Amino acid sequence: MVEREVFVLQLICLEMITPEIVAKTLLSPRTIEGYRKQLLQKTGAINTAGLVLYAMCAGIVDCGK
């Protein structure tokens, strides 16, 4: 995973939706959705919950809020 993908994954884990991620990163919605699709493919997850589970197990995010 590249640094930008990890950052987007962290924002997804913070329960941010695409418009919020766009505002935070100044990337286009299409770019964010592209990152989401790449993350799903790279992790083998089938939905956002799977991405969060992957991020937790891989130590990309922790369980504390």
Interaxial angle between packed helices 48-57 and 3-13, expressed in degrees from 0 to 180 and rounded to the nearest 10: 110
Reported as a pLDDT band with limits 50, 70 and 90, residue 65 is: low
Task: Specify the CATH number of the domain 3-57.
Answer: 1.10.10
Question: What is the domain partition of the chain in residue ranges?
Answer: 3-57
Specify the pLDDT at position 62: 87
* pLDDT tens figures, 5-50: 999 999 999 999 999 999 999 999 999 999 999 999 999 999 999 9
- 14 C-beta neighbours (distance < 10 Å), count: 13
- Res. 63: pLDDT tops 90: no
